[in-house]
Amino acid sequence: MDLLDRYVAAVRRNLPSGANGVGADDIAAELRDVLLERAEAREEALGRPLDTAEWERLLVEFGHPLVVAARYREKQSLIGPELYPFYLYSLKLFGAITALGVAAVAIFRAMVDPGDAGQVAVQLLHSIWWAATTVVGTTTIVFAAVERYGGFDRHFRNWKPGDLPEVERTKEPGRLASAVEVALGVLILLWWAGLAHIPVVTNANGFRLELAPVWTQLYWPVFAVLALRLAYNIVRWLKPHWGWTRGGLAIVSTVGAIIVAVLLYRAGHWVTVVPTGMAAEQAGKLQASLDLSLRIGIVAAAAVWLWQGAQELWRWMRR
Amino acid sequence: MPIEDDLFEKLRIELRRGSLVVAVLGALREERYGYTLRQLLEDAGLPIEESALYPLLRRLEAQGLLSSEWREEGKRYKRFYRLSNEGGEVLARLLGEWNAISESILRLTGKDA
């Protein structure tokens, strides 16, 4: 009987407040009666009182106290099946917007923050974690409130077909264009593999350009990004229906490209103008002009890749 | 359990879920307490777990479809349930719906199910 008392007390403790307008004591009393009735039926069949193990078995069969108590709840789910598709869509939409915002801020900070790259990466992961938790938590709380209190669901029901977005015509490149991209990718990768350690030299107009050490330091990251992009182009060319692989490669290569762009930007110096006849002052001006152009170029490239990555992520999430 | 059986079980439970309310309301045209109600349902081929039956009874009572009272039976006090007037009206409508669904299914399946 001690087990029965403990079981009934555990159920009673976890009953929803109000329990459909009927008191918890009333439910507990009925539950006790049901269990006693079941026990008596077994005792009658056995011809003796139930022992502790048999009582335990009986209570386990009846169900965990939390499950039994939860059945008295009016709502059995946090977000019901009617609202769930809207919840999932909102989660994806807000998730994508937040990911874009966090990525943009992180890239900006990583570019301007002179601190240690590892520390910046840790801060980025921290921001992503908190942003993801906040988006999922807030969206879930809002939809749980809508499910519980209603009212807003009219917004979801009263929709107009005319408000639906236009059909997106995705511009898929032809097989020839894809093949050309693959060929170019192979050429670039070969060029990078063969020329990475050789400085670019030009003797035009009395100066030559030498690549800064950052290019050597980033040899393998750049190689990896080029290889991933080549893999993406090959999949798009030969196996365009491999959606998951294609999307995954696109996202990973874009993220890699952005990271390389950030690391490049942080280096602050990409080429050195070495005068071979040109006046030092003129060479200095050329150096400053080149630095500014490359700085703008890297930022623009990172912004474009970020936008492309966001689009790819959105397509991927909608699958 | 093979996947087909698992799927069938899920579909079967889904199919039975709605019909249990009709069965409970129908069985409570005569006053019963939980244990005897469950036995009756089981004997009729509609077994239901007690941990699901009692919350269902409470819900139907809160919705005004059942009425209940504690009364002594044998050695103990038990809660007896009975269909309310409103419950009777709802049951009649649900049975009408049930028959219409049944006829539709038979028509659609060529009565060979």
Give the ipTM: 0.73
**B49 at A interface, C-beta within 8 A:** yes
Burial class (CB in 10 A: 0-12, 13-18, 19+), A302: buried
Per-residue model confidence (pLDDT) at position B27: 95
Residues in chain B within 8 Å Cβ distance of A29: 70, 77, 79
Please report the pLDDT score of residue A196 as a whole number. 46
CB contact under 8 Å between A30 and B59, yes or no, is: no
**Site from B14, B37, B50 to mutate, A interface, most A CB atoms within 10 angstroms:** B50
User: Is A63 in contact with B49 (Cβ distance < 8 A)?
Assistant: yes
Is the pLDDT at A76 greater than 60, yes or no? yes
Residue B50 contacts A where some CB pair is shorter than 8 Å = yes
Residue B82 CA: distances (Å) to CA of A216, B26, B27, B30, B70? 85, 10, 9, 6, 12
Q: Measured between CB atoms, which of B59, B76, B77 is closest to A20?
A: B59
Per-residue pLDDT at A260 exceeds 80: yes
The pair phi, psi for residue A311, each rounded to 5°, is: -65, -45
Q: What is the pLDDT of residue B113?
A: 47
Is B5 in the A-facing interface, judged by CB distances under 8 Å? no
Output phi, psi for B44, to 5 deg. -85, 0
- The minimum CA-CA distance between A25 and chain B, rounded to whole Å, is 13
| Per-residue pLDDT at B3 | 62
Flag whether pLDDT at A136 surpasses 90.
yes
**Residues B55, A31: C-beta atoms closer than 8 Å:** no
Phi, psi of A95 (to 5 degrees): -65, -45
Nearest CA in chain B to A68: B51
Least confident residue range of A49-63, A230-244, B75-89: A230-244
CB contact under 8 A, A30 and B54: yes
Q: What is the mean pLDDT of residues A270-274?
A: 84
Q: What is the pLDDT of residue B42?
A: 92
Ranges of chain B whose pLDDT falls below 50: 113
Name the A residues in 242-261 with CB < 8 Å from any B CB. none
The string of pLDDT tens digits covering residues A93-117 is: 888 888 778 877 777 777 777 667 6
B72 touches chain A (CB under 8 A): no
User: Which residue of B lies nearest to A36 if distances are taken between CA atoms?
Assistant: B76
Interface with A, mutate which of B35, B37, B38, B51 (most A CBs under 10 A): B51
Q: Is A60 on the interface with B (CB under 8 A)?
A: no
Kindly state whether A20 is in contact with chain B, defined as any CB-CB distance less than 8 angstroms. Answer: yes
Tens-place pLDDT, residues A190-232: 888 875 444 555 556 677 788 888 888 888 888 898 899 889 8
Whether pLDDT at A314 is above 90: no
CB contact under 8 Å between A29 and B49, yes or no, is no
Cα dihedral A155/A142/A306/A288 (nearest 10): 110
Cα gap B106→B102, rounded to integer Å: 6
Q: Is B31 on the interface with A (CB under 8 A)?
A: no
Nearest CA in chain B to A19: B58
Average pLDDT value over all residues in chain A: 81
CA of B30 to nearest chain A CA: how many angstroms apart? 19
CA distance to partner chain A, nearest, from residue B79 (Å): 7
Q: What is the pLDDT of residue B101?
A: 92
Do A258 and A104 contact (CB within 8 A), yes or no? no
Instruction: Note whether A22 contacts B59, CB cutoff 8 Å.
Output: no
- A21 pLDDT more than 70: no
- Please give the torsion angle defined by the CA atoms of residues B55, B59, B61 and B65, in that order, rounded to the nearest 10 degrees: -130
Measured between CB atoms, does B55 come within 8 Å of chain A? yes
Cβ distance A100 to A311 under 8 Å? no
SS3 per residue for B36-58: HHHHHHHHCCCCCCHHHHHHHHH
Distance from CA of B103 to the nearest CA of A (A): 28
Q: Give this prediction's pTM.
A: 0.60
By the CB < 8 Å criterion, does A43 face chain B?
no
In this predicted structure, what is the pLDDT of residue A278? 77
B10 touches chain A (CB under 8 A): no
Output the pLDDT for position A310: 76
